Structure 1
């Protein structure tokens, strides 16, 4: 590895490069992901530069005081196997030292992540289907805005290992997206977001107290778009009801990762996670 290789924190205007590379890898990021992800942790994106030119990226986003999540670990193909990625990885792990760290590892890299102390907790499976349909008539279905947005932030906390309110407020208010909640006895009992991606639309997160609420939210989120438009949903395979939801709408598996953790596996209700927020940020 050459000595003229440096690692530093990315600026906001550089994060779109990581998203562009993710798209080239086939990960299908959202059209507005770069700015939204940066708001999660402005110090959480690193770039590896060779002679001043970016050749590798990684995100090491901090949540609260106890949790971190790694994503966007990409080395341009001609520079792989030369130590550049490892140096960037070490910088990310140093930035997250002392925290439980999660990631979604593609199949080819899971062995390498194990060598760094990560152990698989369960598989996340990406399903592809189609948008369309009509929003169901349900008295508890609400658009998330204003006060409802803060209710969603509070509801979300039980599904994530540490505080991500700053990111979530941006995520729920993003352009080219819809966010719905469902009320039961005056309280939020589920919510979901759908956003426009490089290809079609992706639902995430989709959290609900039971599969009936998840079904209502799923139908509401995908309604209003053409039935020809692709729809994606990332499902924890250990949640059999989430798998049934996807399969019940003729969705097919197109991709998989392993949710892996270094440190104690967080105690979150995976049985009520019907759609993962993001493979890049958790």
Structure 2
């Protein structure tokens, strides 16, 4: 997918090197990406990451991830800071939206851009708030908490399905692989009742996703995951509508540091926000 935009911007699919650069740009914006996010991002949709070149120099990025035939998610929408205000981002936005065709599309937009997204047909669903801090926790000794290995992956994929608007198996198979990430499931009586993932980031660690039947399971998972941060900062991106999640974060000394507007174009997905204690990523949903 390569075409020339009216303003002379050439838009093409990112190479892996381009994606690494875009993630560096995201770090520069203060978004604190994970140390090894790029590989799993590409697994979600290898052709869904677009870069804009101006005179053969990369100047803008966007991700437009196709999840099956019905859902898409926009993220990593960045124009190089010294070139903003010249309409370069609009062309990239249009290319991303065209790639997603007539799917329902979600995004986690910075609050300052909410009005612009509204003009593009997006409607606010809820706020997502990033909580961060230095939780003082020890890993619980609980046999129900199990590291997600090959024997649990299929069950976790099935558990995850209601929490996201479309299947995302390719992404999750990567995200659940122990690398700079650790996935833990809460398994009781042979049934998964929650799971979460923690990953190393430019600053500290992020927990995401964190899904659980209730506060009891979420609390145990949070403690087990946060203990792996070994005293470094921990961040949790949660939907503001889940008051229990806010309570959990506050009880562990985390406080709001950033927020986004979760918005959708098209029919809003019916997701179990009351059991969503942490979303996966602001970039991919």
Residues in 2 aligned to 1:212 and 1:5: alpha-carbon distance in whole angstroms: 51
1:95 and 2:76 are equivalent in the alignment? no
Moved more, 130-139 or 177-186: 130-139
The equivalences for 1:48-197 within 5 A come to 48-197=52-201
Unaligned 5+ runs, structure 2: none
Question: What residue is the counterpart of 1:213 in the other structure?
Answer: 217
Task: Please give the per-residue CA displacement for 1:110-157, whole angstroms capped at 9, x wherever unaligned.
Answer: 110001001110000000111552211223111101120111111100
1:33 and 2:37 are equivalent in the alignment? yes
Secondary structure of 2:30's match? coil
Residues in 2 aligned to 1:209 and 1:268: alpha-carbon distance in whole angstroms: 13
TM-score, normalised via structure 1 length: 0.97
Secondary structure of 1:93's match? helix
1:261 and 2:260 are equivalent in the alignment? no
Moved more, 165-174 or 24-33: 165-174
Residues in 1 aligned to 2:230 and 2:78: alpha-carbon distance in whole angstroms: 33
Contact 1:192 1:206 in 2 (8 A): yes
Residues in 2 aligned to 1:250 and 1:130: alpha-carbon distance in whole angstroms: 7
1:247 and 2:250 are equivalent in the alignment? yes
Contact 2:135 2:252 in 1 (8 A): no
Question: What residue is the counterpart of 2:235 in the other structure?
Answer: 232
4+ aligned runs moved over 2 Å, structure 1: 1-4, 224-227
Contact 1:132 1:225 in 2 (8 A): no
Matched pairs, number? 281
TM-score, normalised via structure 2 length: 0.96
Residues in 2 aligned to 1:126 and 1:262: alpha-carbon distance in whole angstroms: 23
Residues in 2 aligned to 1:64 and 1:22: alpha-carbon distance in whole angstroms: 26
Contact 2:205 2:229 in 1 (8 A): no
Match of 2:280 among 252, 277, 282: 277
Unaligned 5+ runs, structure 1: none
Task: Please give the per-residue CA displacement for 1:206-245, whole angstroms capped at 9, x wherever unaligned.
Answer: 0001110000000000114332x11100010000110100
Task: Please give the per-residue CA displacement for 1:181-223, whole angstroms capped at 9, x wherever unaligned.
Answer: 0112211110000000000000000000111000000000011
Secondary structure of 1:39's match? helix
